[in-house]
Structure formats: C-alpha cells, structure tokens
Amino acid sequence: MRTNPAKKRIIILGGGFAGVKCAQTLRRALAPGDAEIVLFNRENHLVFTPLLADVIGSSVNPLDVVVPLRQLLRGVTCRTEEVIGIRATQNEIVYYSSDGQPSRLKYDHLVLACGNVANLNAVPGMADHAFPLKNIGDAIALRSHVMEQMEKAETCADPERRRWYLSFIVVGAGYSGVEAAGEINDLVRDSARYFQNFRAEDVKVTLIHSRDAILPEIGDRLREFARRKMEQTGVRILLNSRVDSASAEGVALQGGEFVKGATIVCTVGSSPSPILERLAAPRDKGRLMAEPDMRVRNFTNVWATGDCAHIINAHDGQPSPPTGQFAERQGRQCALNIVRTLQQGQVRAFSFKPLGRFCAIGGNSAVAEFMGIHLSGFGAWLLWRGVYLFKLPAWARRFQVGFDWAWLFLFPRDLAHLRARQTDRVSRAHYRAGDFLVHEGEASASFYVIESGEVEVVRSGGHGGDEVISVLGSSSFFGEQALLSNEPLAYSVRARTTVKVLVMGRNVFTQVSQTLAPLRDALAETLNRRSIDLWKVHPKAFDVLKATGVRDLMETVPLPLFKPSSTMAEVGRAFAEHNHELFYVCGEGQVLEGVVTMTDWMRALSQGAGPDTPIAELMKHNPVTLCRDDDGAVAATVVREHRLKHLPVVDCSSRRLVGCLRTRRLMAHVFSKIPRPEHIRANLTAV
C-alpha cells in the first residue's frame, strides 16, 4: 500500500544491463519520497555476459562474473520473482510470489527489460544435444562438460572414441561463438600436458558459421586477422555452412558433411521472452517496436529497453544491435525520459554513438575497434581486458576478475571439475541414423524408451565384427538390464532411422519402476524373455536363420496400400473384400507410415469413429520394420521381442515398403531344414 498517493511506482522487469542501469539512474534522479522503484528479476544477480566465455575456459571464477542486485541497487526494491503476466489495461503485472501463488502489483510506469531467451528449436536435435550460452548456469555446465570430456579421453582405450571426446563444435561465429571457441581451444590444448593419453594435436575445435566471414559486425581487416589467428591456434573454421541437424554424435551440415564431436555449443537462436507474447504491441522479429523515446508503441506508460526492444538509434537511423553496450545506454536514457515525463518535461529520442567493439579470439589475442582505432593481437587483448575490467559494475568484482586474470600469468588454468550431483531427471534425446545411443561395455546410467524411429541392438565379436542381433521400434525400451544388474552394457544400440528417445536417469527409473505396477510387470516380463538366449537353446535354428536372408522369405505386401488420409469406410471395405489381417499405410514414395489391423479398425468403430475418419487417427504409427538385407535370425528376434505375426520389410536406405514377412513362413522355413522339428517346437513353446 502506498501511503503517499503522489508517490509513483515504477516497475522494472529484468535485472540485466538495461534494467540495472535504468534502476540506478531512476534512483539517482528521483527522491525515495517521490518514487518507489521495484525491480523484478528471476535471479538475484546481474550476469556480466561478456565474461561468460572466460568461465567456460576457466580463466575466471564463475562467481566473479555475477553481481548481486541487492548490493548493486541500494534504495531499489529488488524482488527475486518471476513475472508471469502483464495486464497493461489495468496497469499491473502478475508474478509468482514466494508462496507460489500468482500475485499482482500496480504500476504507474513499467519498463520492460527482460532480454531474450535462447531458442535452439530451429534445428532438429539442437535443443536436445547442444549447450546454449546465455546465462551463468549454461557456462558452468559447459565448463564442467568440457572437463569431463578430457577425463573421459584420458581413460578411453578406443582411439576413435577418444578423438570424438576431444572434438568440440561451436555453432555461430558472432562474438559469443568466437570467444567460446577460443576459450575452449585454449583450455583443452593448454591442459593436454597434464594428461597422458592425448596430446594438444588431438584436440579439434570446429567453428561453424552460415555466412562467408566470422564476426560480421567487425571491419574486414580485423575479421580476416581473427580468422587467420584462430586457425593458427588450431580452430577449424567452416564458413557458408548451415547445420541441418544435431545428434549425440555431432552435427550434420546442409551440404552433407557430418562433423563429429562430443560437445556442441550453440550460440545462435534466440526468441523474445515469452512474457511479452500477449502484449498488444507491434514487433520486429519478436522485439517490441518502441517509439524513439523508448515507449512501447500504442502505450503511454510502458517502456522497452535492451534486447527485447526494437529501438531506432537516432545517431545513425539504424536499429540498435542486441548488445550490452546498447542495453546499458537505453536503460539510462529510458530512465531519464521517465523522469522527464513525471516532471512534465520534453522526452528525448534514443541516440548513442558506440564506443567500440572488442572480441577475444583465444591465444591471448583479440580484435578491437575503439574510438576509431583498429587494433589486433596481444595489445588489443590487453585493451579488451582493461575495458571489461572497468565495465564490471562493482569494485569488488573488478578486483576479483583482475586477480583471476593475473593468476593465469603465473599458474595454469584450474582443472578442478566439481561434479555437483544433480537431481536425476527425465530428458529427451534425438539421434540420426547410424549414431550410437549406448556403447557395449559402458556403465549404463539410464533407461531408454523409444518414442519414434528404430534402433538396432549390436553385439561385437560376432560373425565378422559387429553383429545386429535385434531391432527395436517405438514404445520398446532398453538399458533396464544393465541398470538393474549394475553391470556394463552387454550390447551397443545404434539408430537405424532418425530416433527420439525418452531418457530416464537411474533414480527416476528406480522410483517409477517400483511404484508403477504396469511398468514393473512389463519390465519383469521383458527381463525374463531377454534373459533367455534363444540361440543357445537352438543353435541349429540359429545357423539356419543366419544363413537365410529376409529377402528370401518375404512376400508381397497385402494390397491395397492405404494413405494416412484414407478413410475408415475404405479400409472397412478392404477388410470385407480381402482375406488380410492388416493393411499398410504409406506416404509419399511408398514410405511406410503405419499399419492398421482388423482389431484397430473394430476398436475405432466401437469408439465412435465415423466412415470419413482418416485412418491416420486409428493406425499404429511407425511400426517396427525389417530391412531387406537383414538375416532370418534378426527377423526371428524381432518377432519374439515384438510378438508380431507380420513384419513389414523396407529398403533400408529409402525406407520404402518392399514386402512383408509372416512369422508362419519363418517357422516353416526352420522346420523344413531341421531334422527334429518336434524338439524345437516343444522348446519354442516353452520360451
């Protein structure tokens, strides 16, 4: 409750560069009796993003690049709470209060300074497999991951796998991408001398950029210097290269090249803060369109600054770039315009002449454009450090970062890798055909459920190297045996198609499997089935099946083939006219999309599906398939695993449906070749 009705409340949403500078300027310009200034921020600190790359590279301590807002903003009410809505017509914001309940707070003026959020969803698999670099948590997690890769490389006996652990991919060669690639390269190469199983030459850092030059914001000469220097220090730079998809093994480029690496850092892709989505204001690429004085268009008391705002710089008539330098200036000028508005003065358009641009490129080198002077190399790097030291918003942090940097002149980077055990979680992962999901001999820490796609179970040391022993399709699972027995994985699992899996950590798996009866029963049943090695019981049947190809046993597919848009009525008619138990559903190029059985059809009918209902709604999507090149032993294992009477057969590269295999035919083939079929029949029934 406000006791003085004339006292204004100014709410600032966001404690980044823009919000902090705005709050500081307002506090200085307005007496506490005239205005209450409230700043909401999710975290209780400001993150000094220009030094995030230094955190990854162990050049500075993570705590030294964050500044507590409360200590920075004396006289400002700092609220570490998440704002969840803006009700501009009522002049209030909605936020989650400490008890988790939505609460409201009225404002006279609202400043939106909520930045943007990393969004890696534009490229398939990127969100699942890449590290974003936006906040301090991202930098700490990435640093920890890099350390872990070095430790894994040290103990890895397989040279190819070791090279993979030591391969790092950075996507996007703007400032943050270049700095991150430089720091990772320096860290891993400098640290190689402390490891016995790899050398600096084994480290591979690849920087991928979609344009024809790195650092597009910087002049040609400096940009060229940066490229040359980075390549000299061992960073491989791929220009004009777009990432098509990311997986656990690396990234696929649009031209077809696949870059392998155990670490992917994605510095491109951002979207506006979701809180702004429902605000009725025009936008440009998601950023709120602001008037020259930084008021959001269509509003008189809502202002926008920093990365979330599209503000034309009156100095050059260009939209302001999303940088900390601009965010700070906008925050300051926005505060002054609010003060002028409260005091009935004339507001001013945002105008700012940038002071310069800096980018560290690794190897104690940087490029700098500062007050019209172009610098590169060690001198630019010293200037870069000096400027950022000065820009840190608190003296305590300046001393701490200065100390961290000075330390590195005398001592090596710190390789301590604090493995703070995180709470187990459920996550999703995405793999491309050919990628390994798990490797034989590894200790399994997870349970995997296939959401879509197919994987093959591979065992080494079979007939001539790796041997496919089974295929698992959607809804199947694996990893349970190793988790429950606490033993290394007895097989590898490789994606046969693009695969999405749900990954449960050990603790979640244990809790869910103990409490959820259907899962417990399914696990017990599967464990029992998988524990019996059918081929040890029937070595002769195995030999027969191994010597027979699926292509020798497959039959033509039951016709007609349906499309996902075909209707219930059409399929019903086909069941009536043909003596088939199921029909296949194919899309473009006869690529298999689903299967519909008589049971599916009857179930849909009983659930009220009409004659025009498309069969896409009732079919089983992405059924497990065999490849034409599989052998009969794989087919028999898939039949046993999935308990199917019919298996579709596809061409493995195009996924085109080419035939089907009936279990009855498979059995008949075995029985025709083995002298004592009664014995087999009895054993098969027992299994």
Question: Which residues here bind ligand FAD, judged by CB under 6 A?
Answer: 14-19, 40-43, 49-50, 52, 82-83, 113-115, 133-134, 175-176, 273, 275, 306-308, 322-325, 327
Collapse the DSSP code of 470 into the 3-class scheme (helix H, G, I; strand E, B; otherwise coil) and give the result: strand
Q: Select 176 or 365, whichever has its Cβ closest to ligand FAD.
A: 176
Q: How far is the CB of 567 from ligand FAD (least distance, A)?
A: 46
Q: How far is the CB of 455 from ligand FAD (least distance, A)?
A: 35
Q: How far is the CB of 17 from ligand FAD (least distance, A)?
A: 4
Q: How far is the CB of 372 from ligand FAD (least distance, A)?
A: 18
Collapse the DSSP code of 252 into the 3-class scheme (helix H, G, I; strand E, B; otherwise coil) and give the result: strand
Q: Rounded distance, CA 603 to CA 404, Å?
A: 68
Q: Select 40 or 509, whichever has its Cβ closest to ligand FAD.
A: 40
Q: Give the alpha-carbon dihedral of 435, 440, 443, 448, to 10 degrees.
A: 50
Q: Rounded distance, CA 341 to CA 11, Å?
A: 15
Q: Select 43 or 414, whichever has its Cβ closest to ligand FAD.
A: 43
Q: Rounded distance, CA 441 to CA 680, Å?
A: 33
Q: How far is the CB of 396 from ligand FAD (least distance, A)?
A: 20
Q: Select 94 or 484, whichever has its Cβ closest to ligand FAD.
A: 94
Q: Select 365 or 622, whichever has its Cβ closest to ligand FAD.
A: 365
CA separation, residue 339 to residues 8, 289, 330, 346, 382 (Å):
11, 21, 14, 10, 38
What is the 8-class DSSP label of residue 460?
Answer: E
636 burial via Cβ count (<10 Å: 0-12, 13-18, 19+): buried
Collapse the DSSP code of 127 into the 3-class scheme (helix H, G, I; strand E, B; otherwise coil) and give the result: helix
Residue 273 identity: S
Q: How far is the CB of 333 from ligand FAD (least distance, A)?
A: 14
Which of these, 599, 640, 637, lies nearest to 620 by C-alpha position?
599
Which of these, 87, 105, 101, 98, lies nearest to 11 by C-alpha position?
105
What stretch of H or E contains 369?
strand 366-370
Q: Rounded distance, CA 456 to CA 242, Å?
A: 29
Residue 318: CB partners within 8 Å, gap ≥ 6? 312
Q: Select 321 or 611, whichever has its Cβ closest to ligand FAD.
A: 321
Q: How far is the CB of 114 from ligand FAD (least distance, A)?
A: 3
Q: Select 79 or 530, whichever has its Cβ closest to ligand FAD.
A: 79
Which of these, 227, 166, 169, lies nearest to 201 by C-alpha position?
166
Q: How far is the CB of 640 from ligand FAD (least distance, A)?
A: 51
Q: Select 322 or 564, whichever has its Cβ closest to ligand FAD.
A: 322
Q: Select 81 or 414, whichever has its Cβ closest to ligand FAD.
A: 81
Q: Select 45 or 538, whichever has its Cβ closest to ligand FAD.
A: 45
Question: Residues 345-374, buried b or exposed e (16+ Cβ, 10 A)?
Answer: eebeebebebebbbbbbbbbbbbbbeeeee
Residues in the chain: 687
Q: Rounded distance, CA 237 to CA 535, Å?
A: 50
Q: How far is the CB of 276 from ligand FAD (least distance, A)?
A: 9
CA separation, residue 403 to residues 63, 137, 366, 409, 545 (Å):
13, 22, 20, 10, 69
Q: How far is the CB of 133 from ligand FAD (least distance, A)?
A: 5
Residue corresponding to tokens 């029934």 = 685
Residue corresponding to tokens 């969840």 = 84
Q: How far is the CB of 50 from ligand FAD (least distance, A)?
A: 3
Q: Select 192 or 235, whichever has its Cβ closest to ligand FAD.
A: 235
Angle (nearest 5°) at CA 398 between 396 and 400: 70
Q: Select 102 or 610, whichever has its Cβ closest to ligand FAD.
A: 102
Q: How far is the CB of 166 from ligand FAD (least distance, A)?
A: 23
Q: Select 52 or 367, whichever has its Cβ closest to ligand FAD.
A: 52
Q: Select 23 or 639, whichever has its Cβ closest to ligand FAD.
A: 23
Q: Rounded distance, CA 571 to CA 561, Å?
A: 10
Q: How far is the CB of 638 from ligand FAD (least distance, A)?
A: 47
Q: How far is the CB of 131 from ligand FAD (least distance, A)?
A: 11
Q: Rounded distance, CA 227 to CA 222, Å?
A: 9
Q: How far is the CB of 236 from ligand FAD (least distance, A)?
A: 21
Q: Is the dihedral of CA 567, 569, 575, 578 positive or negative?
A: negative
Per the CB < 8 A criterion, the answer to whether 156 and 197 are in contact is: yes
β-strand 312-313 against 309-310: which pairing, if any?
Answer: unpaired
Q: Select 48 or 584, whichever has its Cβ closest to ligand FAD.
A: 48
Q: What is the DSSP string of 144-172?
A: HHHHHHHHHHHH---HHHHHHHTEEEEE-
CA separation, residue 220 to residues 170, 216, 217, 225, 360 (Å):
22, 9, 9, 9, 16
Q: Select 23 or 156, whichever has its Cβ closest to ligand FAD.
A: 23
Number of other residues whose CB lies within 10 A of the CB of residue 574: 18
Q: How far is the CB of 91 from ligand FAD (least distance, A)?
A: 18
Q: How far is the CB of 327 from ligand FAD (least distance, A)?
A: 4
The residues that bridge with 495 in the sheet, in sequence order, are 455
